A and B are shown apart, each in its own frame.
Chain A
Amino acid sequence: MTEEKTEQTTKDGDWKPIILGILCNWCSYAGADLAGSSRLKYPPNVRIVRVPCSGRVNPLYVLKAFQKGFDGVMVLGCHPGDCHYAKGNYFARRRIMLLGELLKSVGIEPERFHFEWVSASEGVRFAELVNEMTETLEKLGPFAGVDNSAEEKSKAEIR
């Protein structure tokens, strides 16, 4: 049913992928900031949430994002060894790697979930990541891994 929706909306050209970016304050968010101040072009499809550390990222956030209909999620943190809190990203590494595998197990395409290290000086890299992901998702289509039909029906009824 949601596959039909893909056909309709891409024909209309209305659908654009929405990506949730969970970025750690000290490295990846600073990197994104640098991309901005360097006037690098990257698509506006990413919605950024800033967290103090990638170790703070509760994997449930990612699940919730997909449940709510985000087309892609990226979790970005400091390179191992560079964590502002020393160890946070090491814990994140274990947790988020496992999360990635769990998502694959239930059929969520690996292209929809990215877990990367982006340092504060990697503005270019951040822009590239968002560019690539947006392009890939545009080709892949809207996220169809969760059946949101009951919720959609609810929204439609009051309108």
Chain B
Amino acid sequence: MRKRILVAALVGLSAFSFGQSADIGSVRVGLRSFGGNEGLEYLNLAAQGDLGAGFKAEVAGTFSQTSTFYGNGFKINHGGNDFEIRGIYAPRQMPFELSLGLGLANTPERSEGVLTFRGAYDLLPVGPNRLAVEAYGVATPNPLVVAGLTDSFTSGALSYDVSAGLPVRGTNSVSTNTGDRNRVALYSVGAAYSLGRSSTLRLAITDQLGWTTGMMATPALGGQPGLEIALKVRI
């Protein structure tokens, strides 16, 4: 029931903020399912609106239950919820994208507000292939910075994307062997199919927990991949 309310709230917020005219924003909903040590499902919701002049605003949430992994002499509590509001600056004539956000984490590790950031620089700004270097993470408190590469290619109604990143500051996971905090690589391989002009269906394999920046920087326990199915609707 709470998830339904959140979906309705996100859709309603989009409609309220950006009106009913075409292509002024988008709403996304997705589910990521992880087996293995993670063993949780994550519901992801996001609504983004174009504010003009290269500015966008996004609200996003990642929601899951919490669970406990039992190791030899330790346990790891994991899962949880995260909510984020981001301001995005992505001018059309410049090959970069920057965003700053305010997150509200409710996870076993954090129950606090966080300042988040994302940045990407296009190395191939022209053509169907987009290759970019990117960095994202939590700026404060307790910084977590991930740096990596992302690549996407569009061909007709299909598009493909792949990304990989590694924490360069802070830790983003806990070892299931030792119980120590560690750094785990993040990856995603996805394919999206355009269902007409306004909708896109995406399937992906990834170890990243969710769409908020904090959850995007967090892998499933052990880095095991999960499966995502997501729908994006432009409004």
A and B are interacting partners: no
Q: Interface residues, chain A, CB within 8 Å of chain B?
A: none
